[in-house]
Amino acid sequence: MADNNLANQTSSAEMVQSNQDLLTQILLHFPVKSLLKSRCVSKRWLSLISDPQFAAKISHLNVNLGPSGLYFYGSPFGFLNFDTNHNMLKIEIFSSENKAWTDSGGPFEAPHYTDFEHGVFCNGAIHWLSPTDVSLYFDVETESLKTMAMPRTQTGGPSGYWSSQRFPYFGQCAGCLHLIEVDSISKPRFHILEMKPDHSHWCDKYRVNLNNVASEFPEIARRYMDEFPTLALNNVEEIEVQYYAYSILSVVIGEKDEDVEVVMVIPGKIISHNPRLNTSKLLSSWRANNVYDCMQYKWYNVFHYVESLATL
């Protein structure tokens, strides 16, 4: 019986080795670190894994599955150049092939105070928010500038205003564009909105209850007496939670519907929270100098890190 099993295993291995397509499909499901080690198996494996087309397939597969980490960068970087002339803007695209900038379309007028510094690339388009009811996105393939609606307020009226306090996060993951809306730092909840693929409207995808986060990490729920104890003596109201100290770093989506993590910085810690399962976990910690360090109401330059065989 042992000899038969060994013969079957040998036959299966030979079949895989002789079938290029089957071998490729199997290797595509290897972790990137394992693939790098597997290049030593044989010259054939080295040639296949080193093939740029194979590396492109790995990169595409890993992007669809979501990021394998987050990358922090100190300054924004982009490939679009904006020429301003009497409130009119012009988009130029840089070609890596001929090392030159070319105009894309004619001059246009953007909605007032459109935030071009925090563009989000998702599904072949770059998206920007504005304080009006309409924002912009640029389809890179067709080189066309289009509009998308901003979410309505909780009362159903027009958005009316935009700020990093109301929308502390704007990003993408696994091909989905996300926007987080916060009513107030004193309310124990916020909404994660997701843009429809046709850019028609935002839908309320997830809701985060910060009281559930505070059950695992109580330092997120703050009282003014914690920072100013002498001002809160004998004041019963100061014993209650007045605000929540946090900033959003990223929204990470996995393969399954319940695989969603909201990465936040709170006093002295970076944590992740799953709004589907109402679970939280610690990712990193340090000694916080000031509770307000995590309440700066700004978009952090955090980028999804995806394992890849592609060379830079």
Q: Is the pLDDT of residue 120 over 70?
A: yes
Question: How large is the average pLDDT for residues 78-93?
Answer: 61
Residue 217 has pLDDT above 80, yes or no: yes
Q: Which residue bears the tokens 């004619």?
A: 106
Least Cα distance to 128 among 100, 162, 97 occurs for 162
pLDDT in tens, 181-212: 887 777 888 889 999 989 988 999 999 999 99
Q: Is 254 left (phi over 0), alpha (psi -120 to 50) or beta?
A: beta
CB 268, CB 219: distance < 8 Å: yes
What is the share, in percent, of the chain residues with pLDDT greater than 90? 14
> Average pLDDT in the 265-288 region?
89
Phi, psi of 93 (to 5 degrees): -115, 135
Confidence of residue 5 (pLDDT cuts 50, 70, 90): low
pLDDT value, residue 293: 64
**Exposure class string for 109-141: b at 16+ Cβ within 10 A, else e:** ebbeebbbebbbbbeebbbbbbbbeebbbbebe
pTM for this entry: 0.66
